[in-house]
Every structure is written in structure tokens, then in C-alpha cells.
Amino acid sequence: MAMNPSSVSQLLEEMDNWDKDKKFMAASDLTQEVTLSNQVLDLHLQKRVCSAFLKQLEDPSIDVQGNAVKCLAKIVCKFQEQQIGEVLGKLSQLVLDGKQEVRDIYATCLKGLLTELPSSCSALACQNVLPKMLHGITSNPSIEVKEECTDVFHDFLKRFGDNRVMQWSDQDNMAQSLLNLLKPKQSKTSLRKKVIACIGALSSVLADRQLDTLMRTLLSDVRSASAKAEKQKYIQCISTVSRNVGFRIGQHLKEIAPLFLQIVVQATQEDVSMDGDNEKDHEVVENCLNAFEVFVLRCSKEIAPHLDELCSVITNLISYDPNFYDDGDNQDTAMDDDDGDFDDDGLVDSDDDDNSWKVRRAALKVLEAMVKGLPDRLDEIYSKFAQPLIARFNEREESVKLDVFGTFAEMAQAAVIKNQSSPTNFGALQTGVGLGMLEVERASPPKERPTAQQLIAVLPSCIAQLNRQMRSKALKTRQGAVSLLRTLSECVPQHLEPNLPQVKDELLKAIKETNSSMRLDALMIIRNLAETFAAPGVYQQLAPQLCPLFLQCCQDSYYKSIAQALNAAGLYVYALRPTPESPSNELAEMLPVFSVLKAKLLATDIDQEVKESALECLGHIVACTGDLPQFQAAVQECLPSFVERIRNEVTRSTAIKSLKTMCISKAIIPPLNQILASVGKNLSQYLSQNSRSFRQQCLDALVHLIRKYGGNMPNDTLTQILSDIEPYITDTDLYITDLCVQIAVQALTTAPQVAPTVVQKCVPAVLTVCRSPLLQGSALDSILNFLSRLAKHRDHCPFDSLRQELSNTSVVASAQAQAQRHVIGTLAKGLAAVISSSAPDVQQAAVNHFLESVKKTSGNPAPEAMQQCELSLLVLGETGKYADLSAVPGFCEVLLMQLDSPQDEVRLAAALALGYATVGAMGTLLKVLIDNVQQAGAEASGQKKQYLLLTSLREVIAIGVSQRHGAISLAEHLKPHVPRVLPILSQYADSQEESVRNVVSESLGYLLVVDQDAVLRVVTALVSKRDRESWRMRAAAVASVRNAAKHCPASAVLPLKDSLLTCLSDEELQVRKAALHSVNVICLSPTCAEILRAHTDLIFERIKEDSKQKPELIREVDLGPFKHKVDDGLPLRKSAYSVCTSLLAAYPEQIASPALIDVVLQGMADNEDVQVICCQLLQDLCSLSFAAFRIVGRVGDLVEPFDRCIMRCIKQVQAKQQVGRAMDMLRLYARTLKVVEPLAEANQHKVFMDFMSRVMKDTVFAQVYEHASSG
């Protein structure tokens, strides 16, 4: 907007008008004119404008003065730097020697201007404000001037304290000048508070030397202070400094902590005097405790030696109340007639003058900091403080009582590891899992930490006390009690449930409360408990009282209450019908909910959250009641509006989730049949939407819909669905392909009449995907299931056509060797799925065909013949998994003969095929296989063949421990043969070939499931061989632990723990590497992780040793024209860093420490592969909330290695050397720094922030950083 100079001149004249209203409006209009304009005033007008506003600061009208303060701060920022500097200088001078009656106006205006100025004006502020404020603080005799200058200086430090001028200034004199203002004993209270705040702000920008001087001076002043008031101000100053500098105060804790503890104990032990100084004592104690709160959070390592004494002090201070005299009687009736001021149990003296509550509140804050910042000492904290904290629920000061509730809630949250699942986020379909109405696993309570038992033990006492507090007359007390109960229901619902009858009356009252937050909390409690219910009888007894309250809340005017009531009702219904066979009589209480749901589904003018909650609630209630006769009519009335919600763009996603919930119910819901056609067509049409997540959701719903109700779905609807999924059966998105194939499988199963459509639409696409080297995982499993189903429809899809398509290996001719082997393996699995599901005559003909194919192509060196031979062998093996082929003439002989083939691929395929076929013929082929292993070992030239036979045996064992064969498991078939197998494995544990040792270790790990005692004896014997030449045996034995941890329970792995820990310090590098791999797997195992919890210190010490670069492991290889260095220790170091990452994930409380930063720093100077692991380790460390407090002191140490690594990569990019690799590393560094930066920023870490400012000036890194994601 253009600006008219004449209008500016006119407004300036009006600003000098005698009428205060005109002056006020002219100033506002001029500010708007200048700030909204894109033109800049000339220098002459800028000076006139500034003079006019400065004049208004002295106006007799308060309104005009206040308006001038606001306007000047906004308008000056639009001027040239010269004018900004002049205004800053003039205002600073006016603060010093302006009129006394308007000095505070000048100071307020200057502070506002400092706040509004951009960062680019930092130097101007330092030049024009800083010297004058320091002069006023040091030289001006007026106390009022000193006070205003201190206030402005504080705001200046907050806004521009990081300017380099501040670093170059005489910081010692600044600090000393401010300290001198604290010296006078009769200084004004307001001045003292401002000086202390200013010293705190200054301390955050002081260099380490100056900060050290400041702390020593303050400590000396505390010790020498004679009066309580004087001591209080210095303690308050130390507390303020500690909050501002955080971890940097750690080096002084050895002096501060004992001194403050002594002061706290002395001030609270003999607090019965009547000299009137108690109030000052309490404030001194409060300041000391505020400092301890910072020490615990920011300096956990330095405060550790003083923690025991601190815990003892805090135990006393959370109940410290010298003015309350308890006679010890009738404690349990205290809350019955609680009036907030007096208690029948005791007498309270001089409540108006009592400020001991400040001590209790500060002590609670320290305790809360301990819970947050010391997770490794939670067991001790719970044992010492849980019961005393519950006793403080009867605290007489309401604000402190709320802090008690908050601290206990923090304890409860620290006791568990919360899962991220939501009530409607169901897991994978698992038909018939456990008891329940749905075919999925129910939500489980949060996982308890090992230290939680101390807290859980006192929960009954806690609930009893909370029940009393919920009867209090004070609204905030009731609100706090219900809020704590909600936190307990989120963290430990399984332990709160048995106590639900005890609190039901107060909970019902809370739902009726007019206070919306209490109502929401009470509904959340019901929802959380119902989600993980274990005793349905408890909820069935409550239903007649609760269900009408749900309906009442649904008529509430507050949308959140309605949404929460619907959510609670939807989950509560599962407790009323825990299994399909046991619907309770109380289920009828849910019938009126349908009328509410129908109204909410039809309404168009309600909040989105209410719509979504109504849809979710409908899904849950229909899933539980849809098959019961008395609910049929109500369900039918809601379905038309439900279909409309599926069609609605805003609500369709939530409606589809609800439809899935109905479909995964164990009950058959007849009313759904009437909407199958419309719902199926809608979901099919939605597949063309661009959103992949929405397409995935629609496909998932279709899978369950067709699985459950496909037989009742019209053929044209099914045909449309099959046509619409065809384009998405590709290898570009295997998860979407998996869902599409599942739909085809369900269509074949529930609606066989659409088989021709399936063959026409889906089979060609599926066969194309089968030839992709990318096919794997669940998509492969679904395709194999599809092919086996398809084989049963011979009329529409003849076996010979499928066999010809799947036997075509010409498509892999141009692929790489590894891709060829993968595709051939996939085709073999597909052929085996078709053969095993076909008629017996077809099976026999197919097996004979492939046996003949092996005989014909055997020994033929042509690539196509070799591929056909490999395919035929694998088909025979895969088919042998499902059928006993040992009776087929020549079957076993053909496979054994191919073990001597000249082609490696054929030999390996024959070994795998023999292993697979043995799985289906344990009674006959297993003995043959073991006999051949022993026979090959007896032959001089049989080593290669024995390795192949061991591979076959490994496959038998691996598949055997995880599958069942008829009434008994395959593992039981293996057990009689274990005594023959173990000597063979022991013999080859010392093989020179690593591949052979790997087979041995895998087999031993699997066999541990079959015969634990026998395998343990062998593994222990191998590990105990300590001579230098037997390191291969030790390596193979310790590697078997890795394989055992994947499949065995903790009890099976536990006997090997000591041997594993011993091997971590083995003198042979390969043994240590194998031991580290095993530790890595155990840490990540959901069943075995707890085995190593007590040994994390030992493992971490070994990691630190093995992660060091060792010159003796670096050798030089002469390659003729040049020499190349090979680091044999690199694989071991990479393993050590990987284990460190796993340890942090499994045992964060024990591992997260500043020592981990040393490991990261060491790794950042290592190979780039190691740096990748270290960056991930650092990201994981910074993401732990409690760890951030521990490591913030070491953040500055990260600057040098990251600076070096970033500069190296930038130079490589600029020189166009290995640009791709350099850019990848830059992105890694940027992601890591993006995680560390908020931590450093929150703690005002200057060294790190200066480093970030410096590297961001490089355009290459700045661009990478901007696009880097911290995930």
C-alpha cells in the first residue's frame, strides 16, 4: 500500500493536539499507515515521527502514554538502522536522566522495542543500549534508575544475549556490578528480584570461566551471610542461575549440594520457634529445593553421591507441616466432612500466615524430577515414596494436594512402557484367538517395567484414599482425584479393575458432574478399563447404572462429552458379551443406544469428532449384538444411514473401519446382507482414489467382507470387485498386491461360482508377479494360497496350463544369478502349491514328470537346461513338504545323485530338495539322510557332499521345530535321531569353511528346541575348549545361541548365558564377533531380553573395548601399482556399535548415559559404515526424554567430529568426488543434528548453536538440512 507524505504530516500535527482522544487516534492511525505500507519514509520524516512518539511518552494522559509505548515499538522497526540506533540511544538515555515520573514509561517502551526488533539489529542494540544500562547499574546513585536499568538489561540479555559483542564485553564486571546491587542489606525487594532474574539471564551467556567465578562468589556469600534474609537472596540467586545454565552447574554440585542440604535440614528441624522468622526459613528451603529440582534433572551424574541424603530430606519435607498438630486418631474419617480448612484429626495454627506449603510443594517437585530423570532408581523411589505420598492425599493445602496427585501420576506413568495401539486399531486377523467377540487379539495393558511391583503393591491403599478425595466438597480436589484415577486407568488398568466396585459410586457422580473436565475424565476411566477388561462380571453389575449415564452424556451440549460417551459405550459392550456363547442379560441396556446412534448418523450439523465416535460405537455394538434377535430391528434401522456415511467423503474412512469391525466379529450379522451390494460397489469404486493408505483400507475391508459374507454377495458385485483389483496386482507395491490376492482367495472360497471371473481377471496378473525377483513375505504366502485354491477348480483352470506357465524359466535368463535363484525358488513354491492341492492322480503324474525332467536335464551345461533341472528339483522338494514322496520309485536316488552334479546351483537345489522332502517323510527319509551324512564323512572325498547333506539336515531341523505333522510335531520325530546328529555337528564345528560352521551353529540352535539337555551338553563342551586352535568350535557354539534365541524360550537360553558372556572377552576376534551377534539377537528378542538385564555394565565395557580401532588389525595388501589397507577389525567394530544400539533399545534406563556419547565420538572418527550406526545411536539416545537430561552436558563434544565430517563431505561434493556417497552422509548428519538441535536449543547450549549457525551458512548443507527429516 502506497503512503501519502502529506497524510503523515497531518497525522503528526494531530499527535500534538490538545485533545487527548485526537492524539491517541492520530498515533494509532500513523502506526497503521507506516506498518502496512510497502514504502519507506525518508529520513527527515522518520525523525519527526520518532520525536512525536517520544513526546507522547511524557503526555499527562495515561492512555496516550500506553498507546505511544505500543506504537513506537512497532513503527521504529520499519525505519532505517541509523534511526533505530538513534531511538534506542535516546530511550536508553531517557531511562537514565529523563523525568522521574515517566521513567518507567521510557523503560517499558525500550523493553517493547527490544522485543520487536529483528535479530539483524543485535549489534545496534549492543552499541546503543548495553553501555548505558551498565552505566546506570554501576554509577547512577538513584535506586529507581538502577531498578529500571536492571529490568531493561534483563530483557536485553534474553533477546540479544548471544551476540558476539556480549562475549567480547567484560563479563566479569557485568556480573560483579549486578552482585553489588545485592550487597546492601536494606535493598528494595523489587530491585532484588530484578537483579536476581538479571543474573540468571546473564549466567546463560557467560563463558565457563566467568560462570565459575560467579558461582564461587555466590557460594562464598551464602556461607558468610549472617541474616536469614541475606542468605535467602543468595540462595535464590543460585537457584535462578542453575535453572538458566542447567548442566553447566554440575561441576559446582560437590560444594552446592552439601551446603544446601545442610541449610534445608537446619531450617526445618527446629521450626517451632515463635520469632516470626519461619516465613523466611520456608522461602530459603523452597529456593534450595528449586535448585535441587534442576540438579536432579540436568546433572544426574553429579548429584548421584548426594541422592541418598536428598531422598531422606524429601521424605520428611513432603509431609512437613509445623503448624498442623495431629493427634493420630480417626485418620480414615478425615475426608468425610472435609471443609478444606480444618480437620477433625488435628489443629491448624495461623493459616493465613503459614507458608510451609511452599516447602511441601517444592519437595514434591524434586520428587517428580527424580521420577523423570532417574529411571534406573525407580525401584528405590517407589519403595521410599509411594506409601508416604499416598498418605499426603489428605494434604490440607489444595494447591499442594493437586501437586501430590500429579507426582503420583508421574510415578504411574514411569512404571509402564505404553503401547501405541488404539481401541479401534486392530491387529492382524487371527481367527479364534483367545476369548472375545472379535477374531483379533484384544488390546493388552501397557507393559510394566520390572520396577513397577513396588508401586502396584500400594495401589489398593491409593484407590481407597482417592475414593475419599473424590467425596471432597472442593471441586479442584475432586477434579484432581479423578484425573489421577484416569492416569492409573491408562497405565495399570488390570490392577485398577479389581478396585472398580470400591470407587463406582464416586465415578458415577463424576459422570453426572456439571464440570466438563471431570465428566470427560470419568468417561475415559470407563473406556480405558473396558478396553482391557479381565473380569466381565464387574462391568455387568455396573451396566444398569452406567448405560443410562452414557445416554445422558450423549445429549450433552459439549461435543467432547458426547464423543467420549460414545467411545466408552462402544468398548463397554464387549464386557457385556465377553464371548459369543455368553451374552449377559445386561446387554439389553445397550438397546437404547441405537436410537442415539441413528440420530447422530443422520445429523449433518454436528461436530466431526462426534460423527466419527458414533460410527466407531456403531461398529462395536453391531459386532457384539448384531446376531441377537432383540437387536435385529435396531440394527436394520441404523444401516441405511451407515451406508450414507460410507459414501460421504468426510466420514467414509471411519465408516469403513467400523465395517471392518463388524466383519471381524465372531457373530454372523444377518442385517448386513441387505447392504452388501451397495457397500461392496462403493469400496470397489474407491480403489481408484490416489491415496494409497485409503486404497489399502478399502482393500482390507473388502477382504474381511468377502471372507464373512461373500456367499451372500451378488455375483455382479463380486465381478466388479475382481475387475477393479486387477490393475493393483503388481510387484511395485507388494502390500497392496497381498490384499488384492487375499480378496481373490476369499472370493474362490466363499463364492465358487465366480471362479471363471477370477481365472480371467486375476490369474494372468498373479503369474506375472510370480516371475518377479521382488516377490516375498506375506504377498508370496497369499499367492501360494491362491494357487492352491485355484488348483481345485480344474474345470476353469486346467493343471497343465498352470504347470506350463509356472515352469517357464525363460524370463530369468537375463537376470543376475541371485535374482534367477530367487525367481526359480518362487516358481517352485507355486508349482508345489498347485500340485499338493490337486487330485491324487494329478499329483502322481506331476511328480513323475519332474523326476523325468531332472533325469533329462542332469549334467546338461546349457543355462536353460540347468534352470529346468534346478526348478524340477525344488518343485519335488517343496511338494515333499506336504506329501510323503519316499514311496515314489527312484525319488530318493535321483536327489542323492544330483548332489554329485558338476553344477553348484543344481547341487544346492538337490540338497534343499532333499531337506524339504524329508519334512514330509520323517519316518523314512530322515534315517536315510543321516546315514548318508555319516557315510559321506567316512569317505576321503566326501567333505563337499557332507556339507550339502548338512544343509539338507539343517532345513529339516529348521522346518521341523516350527511345524506340526498330524497329531505330533515334527520336532518329536527328530528327537530319537538327535544322538546321531550331534556328533556329526560337533565334528564339523571345527571346519575350516565358515559356511559349514554356520550350518552347524544354525542346526544346534534349532535342535535346542528338540532336545535341550543333549544340545546344552554339546554346546557347553564346545565353548569350554580354551586352547588357541579350537576357536572355530567356540565361535560355532556361541553363534548357536543367536539361533536359539530366535526360537527358544528364555529358560532354554539361560544356561548358555555365562558361556556367552565369557566369549565376549575371548582372545580370538571371530569368537568375540559371534558372541556380539548373539547378544544383539538376545537384546531384540521379545522372550529372552531379560536374561542380560543384570549384565549390561559388563557388556557395555566389552563394547567399548571392541569398538576401538586397533593398529595391529590393519594390514597392507600389495596390489602391484598401489598398496591397499585392509582393516580386519572393522566387522567387529560394526558389530559392537550395533549391539550398543540394541542395548539402548532393550535397556534404556541402564545404558542411556554420558558414557554413550564417548562411544559415539569414537565412532564418528571411524569408517563411514560405523558413523551410520553411531548417528542412529545418537538419534535413539536423544529421543529418550529422561536421557536428554543426562547427556545435555556432552552435546558440545559433538561439535568437533560433526564439523569435521560435514566439511569433508562438502569438499567432496565441491570437488565432484564420490558425490552420491558424500550427499548420503550429509543427509545422515543433517537428520542426526535435527534431533540433537532441539535438545541443545532448549538448554541454551551456545557452543552447539554457534556451530549450527556456522554450518548453515554453507549452501550445500543448508539445502540438505532443510529437506532432512528427523525420522
In sequence order, what are the residues at sequence separation of 6 or more whose Cβ sits closer than 8 angstroms to the Cβ of residue 292? 257, 260, 303, 310, 366, 369
In the predicted structure, residue 362 carries a pLDDT above the cut 50: yes
Of residues 739 and 1191, the one with the higher pLDDT is 739
Q: State pLDDT tens for residues 57-67.
A: 777 787 877 77
Asked whether residue 1264 carries a pLDDT value surpassing 60, the answer given is yes
The cell numbers describing 32, all together, are 497503521
Pairing of strands 324-326, 346-348: antiparallel
Over residues 1145-1195, the pLDDT tens digits come to 888 888 887 788 889 999 999 999 999 999 999 999 888 877 777 777 778
d(CA 533, CA 555): 27
Cα-only R_g, the chain? 38
Running DSSP on this structure, what letter comes out for residue 441?
A: P
SS3 annotation, 565-607: HHHHHHHHHHHHCCCCCCCCHHHHHHCCHHHHHHHHHHCCCCC
pLDDT band of residue 330 (cuts 50, 70, 90) is: very low
**By three-state DSSP, how is residue 1114 classified?**
strand
Q: Is residue 1080's pLDDT more than 60?
A: yes
Q: Of how many residues is the chain composed?
A: 1271
What is the reported pLDDT for 274?
A: 40
pLDDT band for position 385 (cuts 50, 70, 90) = very high
Sequence-ordered list of residues with C-beta below 8 angstroms from that of 513, at least 6 positions apart, any chain: 478, 519, 522
Could you report the per-residue pLDDT of 663-695, keeping only the tens digit for each?
999 999 999 999 999 999 999 999 998 899 999
Question: Cα(188)–Cα(181) distance, rounded to whole angstroms?
Answer: 10
Average pLDDT over residues 140-145: 84
**Contact (CB, 8 A) for 1162 and 1142:** no
User: For the segment 794-833, what is each residue's pLDDT rounded down to a tens digit?
Assistant: 877 888 888 888 888 877 766 677 788 889 999 999 999 9
What cell numbers appear for 472 in the block? 471432597
Q: Which residue has the higher pLDDT, 1150 or 541?
A: 541
DSSP character at residue 1176: H
Residue 937 pLDDT class (50, 70, 90 cuts): low
Residue 828's H or E segment, with its range, is: helix 817-836
pLDDT for residue 52 is more than 90: no
Sign of CA dihedral 885, 887, 890, 895: positive
Most confident of 169-173, 410-414, 451-455, 1120-1124: 410-414
Q: Are 1162 and 1219 in contact (CB under 8 A)?
A: no
CB atoms within 10 A of CB 715: 11
What is residue 965's predicted lDDT score, i.e. its pLDDT?
45
Identify the three-state secondary structure at position 191: helix
CA dihedral 497, 498, 499, 502 (to 10 degrees): 110
What is the H or E stretch that residue 540 is in? helix 536-554
* CB contact set of 1216 (below 8 Å; sequence gap of 6+): none
Three-state DSSP state, 320: coil
Rounded to the nearest 5°, which phi and psi values hold at 347? -120, 145
DSSP 8-state code for residue 261: H
Strands 416-417 and 346-348: unpaired
Structure-block grid coordinates of residue 958:
529348521
Task: Render pLDDT for 882-928 as a digit per residue (tens, 0 to 9).
Answer: 888 888 888 888 888 888 888 888 889 999 999 898 888 887 888 88
More confident residue, 1163 or 74: 1163
Q: Tell me what pLDDT residue 1128 has.
A: 87
Query: Model confidence at 620, in pLDDT bands (50, 70, 90)?
Result: very high
Q: What is the distance between the alpha carbons of residues 634 and 638, in angstroms, rounded to a whole number? A: 7
CA–CA separation, 970 vs 992, rounded Å?
32
27 neighbors 56 (Cβ within 8 angstroms): yes
- Nearest CA to 1225 out of 1213, 1235, 1215 is that of 1213
Of the pLDDT bands very low, low, confident and very high (cuts 50, 70, 90), residue 342 is very low
- Give the pLDDT confidence score for residue 138 in this predicted structure: 86
C-beta of residue 259 within 8 angstroms of C-beta of residue 222:
yes
DSSP SS3 for 992? coil
pLDDT score at 381: 93
Rounded to 5 degrees, what angle do the CA atoms 912, 913, 915 make? 65
Cell of 348: 491448624
Confidence of residue 346 (pLDDT cuts 50, 70, 90): very low
Answer whether 1249's CB lies under 8 Å from 162's CB. Answer: yes
Q: Which of 350-364, 441-455, 694-708, 863-877 has the lowest mean pLDDT?
A: 350-364
pLDDT of residue 1012: 85
Compute the half-sphere exposure of residue 378: CA atoms within 13 Å on the CB side of its CA. 25
At residue 1174, the pLDDT reads: 93
- Of the candidates 42, 33, 41, 39, the residue with the CA atom closest to the CA atom of residue 11: 33
Burial of 21 (0-12, 13-18, 19+ CB in 10 A): exposed
H or E element that contains 291: helix 278-298
As given in the structure block, the three cell numbers for residue 207 are: 563463558
Question: Rounded to the nearest 10 degrees, what angle do helices 1199-1214 and 1154-1164 cross at?
Answer: 30
Residues 6+ apart with CB under 8 A from 864: 809, 810, 813
Position 434 confidence tier, pLDDT thresholds 50, 70, 90: very low
* Among 910-924, 968-982, 1011-1025, 1057-1071, the least confident range: 968-982
Alpha carbons 947 and 590: distance in angstroms, whole number = 66
Q: Tell me: the pLDDT tens digits for 228-286? A: 778 888 888 888 888 888 777 888 888 889 988 988 888 887 554 444 456 667 888 88
CA distance linking residue 956 with residue 922, whole number of Å: 9
DSSP 1018-1045: HHHHHHT--SGGGHHHHHHHHHHHHHHH
In the predicted structure, residue 334 carries a pLDDT above the cut 70: no
The DSSP bridge partners found for residue 1117 are 1124
- Look at residues 503, 510, 614 and name the one whose alpha carbon lies nearest to residue 559: 614
Q: Does the pLDDT value for residue 350 go beyond 50?
A: no
The C-alpha cell at 501 is 466396585
- Angle 1193-1195-1199 from CA coordinates, rounded to 5°: 140
Residue 1270: pLDDT band with limits 50, 70, 90: very low
Q: What is the DSSP string of 794-815?
A: TTTS-HHHHHHHHT--GGGTTS
Query: What mean pLDDT comes out for the span 615-628?
Result: 94
Q: Are 872 and 814 in contact (CB under 8 A)?
A: no
Helices (H) and strands (E) in the chain, counts: 66, 8
- Evaluate if residue 425 carries a pLDDT over 50: no
> Given this model, what pLDDT does residue 280 score?
66
Select the more confidently predicted residue: 676 or 90.
676
**Which stretch of 529-538, 1022-1031, 1209-1218 has the lowest confidence by average pLDDT?**
1022-1031
Among the listed ranges 573-577, 695-699, 783-787, 951-955, which one has the minimum average pLDDT value? 951-955
Mean per-residue pLDDT for 1004-1009? Answer: 85
List, in order, residues 6 or more apart from 311 with CB less than 8 Å away: 370, 380, 381, 384, 385
Residues whose CB falls within 8 Å of the CB of residue 275, separated by 6 or more in sequence, listed in order: none
Taking the CB of residue 1185, how many other CB atoms lie within 10 A of it? 10
Asked if the model's pLDDT at residue 399 lies above 70, the reply is yes
User: Which amino acid is it at 81?
Assistant: E
Higher per-residue pLDDT: 40 or 620: 620
pLDDT given for residue 187 in this prediction = 67
- The residue ranking higher by pLDDT, 79 or 295, is 295
Under 8 Å between Cβ of 492 and 416: yes
* pLDDT greater at residue 712 or residue 331: 712
